[in-house]
Amino acid sequence: MTHQHQHHQQQVSFKTMAIATVVGVTIGGPLLAMMGFTFLTTMTLLVVASPLLIIFSPLLLGAGFVIVAALAGFGAAGLFAVAGLSALGWVFRSVKGGELQQGLESVTGKLLESGQNVKESVKNTGKEWAGHLKQTEETSPENVTANRA
């Protein structure tokens, strides 16, 4: 029984073939025509637009660079915004956790120590310059002449 069933499925009647062909041509024909029309239109537009693209390429290239630079600028601005919000979040967590107070005390101590070092250095440099200026004044030609008189 199965052998007869398989044999019956393999046989396709002329009527079924004719209907399938008519349906295939009915659906495929317009699709093939639209595909050909689209291809022909695309090629025509390419032939017409190619000289215009070549003529205006410097302008289009400049506009492309401007667009790319603007996009890069917006991207950088977004990254800086994320970095700023991240820094603000870090500061908020530090203040809330009390870590900032300890950090400020240690930084304040270091600044005071550096300030004292700078003060001593400026004082020593000032004394050296004062001695140098006094020596230059005594040995200048005008003062030597004034001292002789």
What pTM was computed for the model? 0.36
**Tally of domains in the chain:** 1
The one-digit pLDDT tens for each residue of the chain (149 residues) are 555 555 555 677 888 888 988 998 999 999 999 999 999 999 999 999 999 889 988 898 999 999 999 999 999 999 999 999 999 998 888 777 765 566 667 777 788 888 888 888 888 888 888 777 777 766 766 665 555 55
Which residue reads 């050909």 in tokens? 36
Residue 1 lies in a domain: yes
Compute CA distances 130 → 123, 133, 140, whole Å. 11, 5, 15
Domain membership of residue 42 (yes or no) is yes
In a domain, 91, yes or no: no
With contact defined as beta carbons under 8 Å apart, do 100 and 94 qualify? yes
Q: Would you state the pLDDT for residue 119?
A: 83
* 36 found inside a domain: yes
Could you tell me if residue 125 is inside a domain? no
DSSP state of 140: S
For 107, the token pair is 């930084």
Residues listed for the chain: 149
Residue 27 lies in a domain: yes
Distance CA 119, CA 30 (A): 94
7 inside domain: yes
Q: Say what the pLDDT of residue 141 is.
A: 65
Output the furthest CA–CA distance in the chain (Å, rounded).
149
Domain that holds residue 6: 1-55
